[in-house]
Amino acid sequence: MADDIDRANDQAQYLLDVALHRSRRVPSTRVSAQFCEDCDDPIPSLRQQKIEGCETCVPCQELREARR
């Protein structure tokens, strides 16, 4: 379970890195939200550090990805 989450996070980070390299207009450092944009729950600081520019908590991120 934890491994699956780590793998998903690594993949998200990889896709983010690719996106950042493709668009030079995006600042190299993005500030992560402290509270989830969708449900206003506090985002764990580890997640904020690990996922640069994250906007949502883990469950809401999964919901966003499921909606795509």
Q: Which is nearer to Zn ion, 20 or 60 (CB)?
A: 60
Q: Which of 61, 47, 57, 53 is nearest to 27 (CA)?
A: 53
For residue 58, state whether it binds Zn ion (rule: CB under 5 A).
Answer: no
Question: How far is CA 19 from each of CA 15, 35, 45, rounded to the nearest angstrom?
Answer: 6, 23, 23
Q: Which is nearer to Zn ion, 17 or 37 (CB)?
A: 37
Q: How far is the CB of 18 from Zn ion (least distance, A)?
A: 25
Q: Is the Cβ–Cβ distance between 61 and 39 less than 8 Å?
A: no
17-56 positions binding Zn ion, by CB under 5 A: 36, 38-39, 41, 56
Instruction: Point out which residues bind Zn ion (CB under 5 A).
Output: 36, 38-39, 41, 56-57, 60
